[in-house]
Amino acid sequence: MKMNALDAKIGQLKEYLSSGEKRIAVLTHTNPDGDAIGSSLAWAAVLRSMGHTVNCLVPNRYPNFLAWMPDIADVIIAKEANEKAERVVDEADIIFCLDFNRIDRLENLSTHIVNNSKAVRILIDHHLDPPLEEYALAFSDHTSCSTSYLVYRIAERLTGVEVFDREAAEALYVGIMTDTGNFSFSYLTPGLFRAVADLIEKGIDVPSINSRVYNAYSEGRMRLLGYVLLQKMQLIENNRIAYIGLQEHELRRFDFQIGDSEGFVNYPLSVTSVQMSAMFLETRKFIRISFRSKGNVDVSEFAARYFGGGGHKNASGGKSFEPMDKTIENFKKAVAEYFKEKQL
Ligand code: 5GP
Ligand code: MN
């Protein structure tokens, strides 16, 4: 987002946040990741510093590797405390939607918000193609590496970054670190590294955060990863496309916990020839799909066209309501068609 576009919106944001204390709900997406939680916690700190009453809400539980984060225990998990979550939504004057842009990504909470909430809805997000008509105000920038960095830039202009104490700085760092794949994906701008320098000046301990997030896996996850790479990864289309299908009975064998398969979809891209990777994860209701790609292959468009999803150019997701074998068959047809059409 260009500097002056951002500045113009800050004026509007200030208006929404002026005239007394507001009740505010900060919402993020289903299966919240490091950026979803990190940006929410830091944004809540900004709003509290302005004197507002703030509750953070997530549709379902965050992965264990984030459980150490300061204040995470106060985050309301709708799946486990539905009444409380609905009450917070009902009572909110303002709802901030962070790190996602379609209300339908909130699962059960979506209908409740659409049907009951009269709150002003404001978006802070870095995914493509937000439905702008759903928001009174939208800070949407798909060239931001993470929502956490967007929160940093907004706070810079709204309150000044002095509002971030060490704990909020840790939350932002977690968001930036995880969404950039530890500073290896796109949109690594000089401004981002300046912001990170500022977070470090606030006293965050980078090696320690790194270790708490990346060295926090169960034995089951490690063994599941071994199984996935050895036995489940399939290469098709001249080894340009990789996919992994995991069914519930396989997951049970490895004492699967939510979040355990996080990041698996990235591994096949380490093979030189692989341009696109897909992972199909069977859950009780549907198959959750993750897509990743290198370079020009736009998996956001692919996910939207074939699997009712979306995301970013090189990282997207979707769903399938067919059984695993049919889903993979559909996938194979879809990639053949897509790669031919785009001459990839
Ligand atoms: P992941 O594979 O990590 O679950 O998701 C990768 C990216 O795709 C994330 O940025 C996420 O927001 C987006 N994404 C995942 N699933 C969906 C979906 O069902 N719909 C949309 N619009 N985006 C998704
Ligand atoms: Mn994000």
DSSP string, 237-290: TTTTEEEEEE-HHHHHHTT--TTTTTTGGGGGGGSTT--EEEEEEE-SSSEEEE
pLDDT of residue 19: 85
Take atom 13 of ligand 1 and give the residue whose Cα is closest: 311
What is the separation of C-alpha 8 from the centre of its chain, rounded to a whole number of angstroms? Answer: 26
Q: What pTM was computed for the model?
A: 0.88
What is the separation of C-alpha 206 from the centre of its chain, rounded to a whole number of angstroms? Answer: 21
| Averaged pLDDT, 202-230 | 96
CB-defined site of ligand 1, < 6 Å: 100, 102, 105, 127, 290, 309-312, 315-319
pLDDT band at 104 (very low <50, low <70, confident <90, very high): confident
Q: Is the pLDDT of residue 3 over 80?
A: no
3-class DSSP state for residue 145?
coil
The tens digit of pLDDT for each residue in 18-54 reads 989 999 999 999 989 999 999 999 999 999 999 999 9
**Distance from C-alpha of 210 to C-alpha of 313, rounded to nearest angstrom:** 26
**Distance from C-alpha of 148 to C-alpha of 64, rounded to nearest angstrom:** 20
DSSP string, 192-252: HHHHHHHHHHTT--HHHHHHHHHS---HHHHHHHHHIIIII-EEETTTTEEEEEE-HHHHH
The tens digit of pLDDT for each residue in 52-66 reads 999 999 999 998 899
Take atom 14 of ligand 1 and give the residue whose Cα is closest: 317
pLDDT of residue 293: 97
| Averaged pLDDT, 296-316 | 95
Q: Which of 271, 219, 209 is nearest to 244 (CA)?
A: 271
Q: Is the pLDDT of residue 108 over 90?
A: no
The tens digit of pLDDT for each residue in 217-255 reads 889 999 999 999 999 999 999 999 999 999 999 999 999
Take atom 7 of ligand 1 and give the residue whose Cα is closest: 316
The tens digit of pLDDT for each residue in 123-137 reads 999 998 899 999 999
**Distance from C-alpha of 312 to C-alpha of 292, rounded to nearest angstrom:** 9
Token pair for residue 248? 């519930």
pLDDT band at 106 (very low <50, low <70, confident <90, very high): confident
Choose the residue to mutate in 29, 66, 105, 281 for probing ligand 1, maximizing ligand atoms within 8 Å of C-beta. 105
What is the separation of C-alpha 100 from the centre of its chain, rounded to a whole number of angstroms? Answer: 7
**Distance from C-alpha of 6 to C-alpha of 27, rounded to nearest angstrom:** 21
The tens digit of pLDDT for each residue in 120-178 reads 999 999 998 899 999 999 999 999 999 999 999 999 999 999 999 999 999 999 999 99
Residue with tokens 């842009």: 101
Token pair for residue 91? 């009572």
